[in-house]
Structure 1
């Protein structure tokens, strides 16, 4: 019988402690590396995230002191309080800038491991490849200032507010879309109804033209009817994440989706409720010194702890 490809990669990690956590179904393998000495290859990350021969996850997060990474040391020069760095990898082992659900689970993991202490209402600065993110503990989870959102192809947007076309995913014809950066790239497609959303085939990556330089996550969104109820905008979303495939939730994707729908609707609301297959996250827009910021809120759960055999 052929040895599964994960085998040799996981054997080299024997004895490594880990945890498994998720935020609205977006799940992660988490590893604490307080001394900054654990080196994980792309193959090892992919093996750990393999749902049949590994632990299984949408990505891997290594908790490492910011001083141990060049990217972290650069952030410490401006934010000395960003002690911990979220070293995030996609399920295929590729490096990613940020993950909105992941940063909530990351902070919950730090608390679970005794590496940080955070009372309800208190904040913790976290280093990421998309800059420092400030996470606050709430009564029902965590709230994250994701920083400012921007258009990726601002100069290319047409009169409809779109800048690209998306093909595939079960779409009968190419659909206009809008690409938005949340520190990582997203391309948002609006659909007319839930039936179209449910019929999407997201086991393969949709084609985006033009595709952002580092690839893109693609969000398919159905606005609620009415769009805004009691001052809260509402939408439903499915997402194909680059380097992963379809996931149950994407925090930065929920922020990008709300930003796109809000832009198309002319600033209909500042507070949004985004329904994803794994649950519900909250998105809020607020003024910042460097542009309009997006705040993401939602739960974080640790479901298992163990040691690799």
Structure 2
């Protein structure tokens, strides 16, 4: 079955977006992995499928490059909001979010962050703002669920952390029953400098939910004030959050190209 797709990215975090609201698209983990393959497929960090929804304007399914389905993706949400072009409500596995296009990208309301240990989730109870755990030099992280689970380490220099080695180790630690996204950040002149090991993907140029989770943790710890700029390898996002309120994420998006593919040739 041939179908149309859009290729977009948010700060280098790239997506293949398929609108399946009018024509059903069957998808398996193997097919998602094949589409995401950068050598024999279209190539992306995440495959995004838009489907009908009973509770929002549409439902967004998010598949990582390894074929796993995940709850939320901030950069993809911005790209989809920009693609739709009007204020829209989007159903995700992590909850219903809203977004609208701006001149160079989109603003997305990512919902309220969750801090209870069961919601992260963790294997057992602990203080999620100052967790008494560590992996080598990465110690005392914070954990936040922003639709998906994030672990945040505040360090002296995020650029020197061996995240490509430590990230996959921490991601699958038994402390995290659903695995976890791993963020390392340092703060300079009120700006958060962030790198992310993304669950099921690896090191990415940017992670919108990681930026949200890290900003929230930094605000909770009194390290920064809202709104705060978050610099990632691929560019910058602006995150706004007040305790008890939802997270607002603003940043650019880029439309790369559109195309058609025979989905039966993948997987």
Q: TM-score normalised by the shorter chain: which range applies?
A: 0.7 to 0.9
Q: Does 1:92 align with 2:51?
A: no
Number of aligned residue pairs: give it.
255
1:282 aligned onto 2:238: yes
- Counterpart selection for 1:299 from 239, 252, 259: 252
**Structure 1 residue 185 and structure 2 residue 141: aligned?**
no
Matched, 1:107 2:81: yes
2:141 alignment partner, SS class: strand
Q: Which residue of 2 aligns with 1:114?
A: none
Partners of 1:203 and 1:246 within 8 A in 2: no
SS at match of 2:91: strand
Aligned to 2:35: 48
2: CA distance between counterparts of 1:47 and 1:272? 37
C-alpha contact (below 8 Å) 1:26/1:58 kept by paired residues = yes
Matches within 5 A, 1:50-199: 50-66=37-53, 73=54, 76=55, 82-111=56-85, 118=86, 123-153=87-117, 156-157=126-127, 161-163=129-131, 165-167=133-135, 172-197=136-161, 199=162
Provide the TM-score with structure 2 as the length reference: 0.87
What's the C-alpha RMSD, in Å, of the aligned pairs? 2.2
Match of 1:201 in 2: 164
* Deviation of the 1:219 alpha carbon: 0.5
Q: What's the TM-score once normalised by structure 1's chain length? A: 0.76
**Structure 2 CA distance, aligned partners of 1:95 and 1:183?**
13
Contact 2:29 2:67 in 1 (8 A): yes
Structure 2 gaps of 5+ residues are 119-124, 263-267
Shift in Å, 1:36? 5.1
Distance in 2 between the 1:63 and 1:299 partners? 21
Bigger Cα Rg: 1
* Residue deviations 1:201-229 (CA, integer Å, cap 9, x gap): 358613265633311100010111x3x3x
Q: For 1:214-270, what per-residue CA distance to the aligned partner results, in whole angstroms no more than 9, with x for missing partners?
A: 11100010111x3x3xxxxx111110111111111110110101111122226x411
Q: What residue in structure 1 maps to residue 221 of structure 2?
A: 264
Aligned residues of 1:164 and 1:179 also touching (Cα < 8 A): no
Task: Flag structure 1 segments of 5+ consecutive residues without an equivalent.
Answer: 1-12, 67-72, 77-81, 112-117, 229-233
1:166 to partner: Cα distance: 4.4
How far, CA to CA, are the matches of 2:203 and 2:27 in structure 1?
24
CA contact (8 A) 2:82 2:102 kept: no
Determine if contact 1:24/1:300 at 8 Å carries over to the other structure: yes
Q: Offset of 1:292 from its aligned partner?
A: 2.6
Contact conserved, 1:152 with 1:212, CA < 8 A, in 2? no
